[in-house]
Chains A and B, each alone.
Chain A
Amino acid sequence: MHPKNQHEKTILAPLHRVTTGDYLLWGALLALMLTGLAAWIWQYLQGLGITGMNRPVYWGVYITNFVFFIGLAHSGTFISAILRIAGQSWRAPLTRAAEAITLFSLPFGAGSIIIDMGHPERILNLILYGRFQSPIMWDVTAVGLYMLSSIVFFYLSLLPDIALCRDRLTNVPRWQQRMYKILALGWNGSPEQFRRLEKVLDGMAVFMTMLVVTVHTVVSWLFGMTVQPGWHTALIGPFFLLGAILSGTAAVVIALAILRKVYRLEKVLHTGLFNSLRKLLITFVLGWLYMMIAEHLTIGYASMTEEMTVLNDKFTGTYSLIFWSMTVLVFVVPLLVFIFKGKNNIGWMVFASVLINIGMWMERYIVIIPSETSPRLFHNMGQGSYMPHLPEVLITLACFAGLIFLYALFTRFFPIVPIWETAEALPGHTHTNETSPVPQPAASD
């Protein structure tokens, strides 16, 4: 038994064939990934000296990528767990698209830490000799747990749809049919199975919500637990978390718009979804401004010597260009676009969301680097500078390519819109499912 969904054919359409365009895209992305892999092998053989890192800038774009990718991963959990608990039923069509971002950006976040290590082959030392007093161990634990529970959460909500693919997609290659058969774990869609599934997902949503708050706070504590100027502030945790949800939600807008266009899902991923996301994004952008002012005003007003060195470096010094363009990219332009242009206009929404994500990467960079160039001991010696080198650029590109590659691959083999969650009726349910995908009238906006 399968849920009844009027859009089933539309959603399953992309799964029937792999186009030449797909092969070209995958090929290009794979090439980028291989270049990055080669750069990493080169770095492993030569030493981290081939990067632009130095003393006192011991951490560069790898750690920036780590923070950024973990932040991007917050999209899925926010939409599927937090909004699930809040009973926001409009989110149903976009849950999987958002969760897939979580699932596929986490490996590159965690991987960035390994790429940054001087001795990646000693990674088992973390288990053999782990010291739980260290923020790195907190990260390993939190991110590891997050990755594991994201996979479980994602897979569980995918189960009914894999079973549907198993039964409906009879014209696809044999290996693909076998894959569905194995992955479906014998799901037969009985009302009891759906009842249990909903129960488990509700329970996990509570756990995931706690985890998502913990993970990005712990990521920020990598910096916040030190006494370095610019990092040692209690606000760094909430600020990182809010930034993560902002960039994650913006990433969902981008992904949805592309999926909608490429796979002709206009009816399912309707404009109403973008209007709902727009409201969320306006809230987060304003929250970002609040955090920004709270942090910088506190530091600037107190004007402690070492803190001011870092602050001045951001406001008027070496990093002022990045700092102010970040403010324009994350806050000024997106807010104006969302308020005046974003309603019912997907193009503008995507434009602002791309700006937000570029700006958020810059924000991670601007939090990390200026504190390092002016460490406490050197604050009046003006020491330290940093410019990423080619291997760092190649590896960064490879990480982004990897995220897109996994995402593109997934959407060709699995339905990216949850069919059972957007169904009109589930087996055993007499009433209409409340998570109906029917477009909301514009009046609801």
Chain B
Amino acid sequence: MPRWGMVIDLDKCFACQSCTAACRMENNTPVAGKDQAGMGRAILWNEVLPFTEGEYPNVVETMIPRPCMHCDNPACIKVCPVQATFKNEEGTVLIDYTRCIGCRLCTVACPFTVRYFNWYPPEWPEEMKAHLNPEPEVAPRPKGVVEKCTFCTQRLRKARETAEAAGRTFAATDYIPACVQTCTGHARYFGDLDDPNSLVSKLAHSPRAYRLFEELGTQPKVYYLKQG
């Protein structure tokens, strides 16, 4: 059973935001519009966040792409009163949109602020509506529920189906999320953290590797390789 994880090399990332864009196309996150985005209501399963240290002229700006951390000990799951958010056997944290009651305790409990709420019914400009991803896993979410990055769980299912149709066993390298595939600088790596020979597992053990808020004990499965 693979344990999916991601490594993001901050030396290679140049904050082009193509991960954010690819994620939106793959996962049908709605278009918030200028006003709503200004209120902080844009739904972006992947965001590139700027962290500024120091003051002018000695400023260090770090750009950190932030998908869901898919923690092994997630803060969001234990607080969900209806078990709408859960971790599957491969360690990915998912949400049952038909069960979520929209209490938003998970959104305030997540230290990484990765969870988004549907304040309004989802909307797209007419031109985009025809090009929504048809996969059932990413069918537009109704208003009033919480959603977030799923490591493109629909891609995993499709990869498994493809392997089965071709009559071969599914390999961990058959599947990558959209942000990893699209990453311009090849800064993102994805794979099975439990396989000691996989690239992600090796990179996750590199001396440059760190995780966000490691001290909180949530055990994120997204690793970063330090800049510089």
**Chain A interfacial residues counted at CB < 8 A:** 45
Contact across chains for A372 and B108 when beta carbons are under 8 A apart? yes
Give the size range of B's interface with the partner: 35 or more
List residues of A (123-175) whose CB comes within 8 Å of B's CBs.
123, 125-126, 128-131, 133-137, 140
Closest CB in chain A relative to B96 CB, distance in Å = 9
Q: Does A113 contact B (CB under 8 A)?
A: yes
Contact across chains for A116 and B108 when beta carbons are under 8 A apart? no
B-side binding surface: helix, strand, loop or mixed?
loop
Contact across chains for B102 and A134 when beta carbons are under 8 A apart? no
**Complex Cα gap A118–B84 (Å):** 13
- The A/B interface has a contact count, at CB < 8 Å, of 144
Query: A223's closest neighbor in chain B, by CB?
Result: B108
Mark A345-385 against chain B: 1 for CB-CB distance below 8 A, else 0.
Answer: 00000000000000000000000000010011110110110
Task: Please indicate which of the listed interface residues A46, A118, A372 has the most CB atoms of chain B within 10 Å of its own CB.
Answer: A118
Query: A44's closest neighbor in chain B, by CB?
Result: B144
Mark B101-130 against chain A: 1 for CB-CB distance below 8 A, else 0.
Answer: 111110111011100111111000000000
Contact across chains for A118 and B144 when beta carbons are under 8 A apart? yes
Contact across chains for A126 and B111 when beta carbons are under 8 A apart? no
Contact across chains for B111 and A228 when beta carbons are under 8 A apart? yes
Q: Does A111 contact B (CB under 8 A)?
A: no
- B-binding segment of A48-56, A185-193, A422-430: A48-56
Q: Does B14 contact A (CB under 8 A)?
A: no
Contact across chains for A117 and B81 when beta carbons are under 8 A apart? no
Contact across chains for A376 and B105 when beta carbons are under 8 A apart? no
Contact across chains for A375 and B83 when beta carbons are under 8 A apart? no
Closest CB in chain A relative to B9 CB, distance in Å = 20
List residues of A (42-88) whose CB comes within 8 Å of B's CBs.
46-49, 53-59
Minimum-distance CB pairs A-B, first 8: A118-B102, A118-B144, A49-B119, A136-B81, A47-B143, A49-B120, A134-B81, A54-B40
Known: A47-B120, A58-B108. 20 other contacts (CB 8 A): A48-B144, A54-B41, A56-B40, A56-B107, A117-B102, A118-B101, A122-B101, A125-B101, A126-B101, A130-B82, A131-B82, A133-B78, A134-B78, A134-B79, A134-B80, A135-B79, A137-B81, A226-B108, A227-B109, A381-B51
- Which residues from chain A sit less than 8 Å from chain B, CB to CB? 46-49, 53-59, 113, 116-120, 122-123, 125-126, 128-131, 133-137, 140, 222, 225-228, 372, 375-378, 380-381, 383-384
Q: List 16 A-B contacts (CB under 8 A).
A: A47-B118, A48-B117, A55-B113, A55-B116, A56-B40, A56-B113, A117-B144, A118-B145, A119-B100, A122-B102, A125-B99, A377-B66, A377-B113, A380-B53, A381-B52, A383-B40
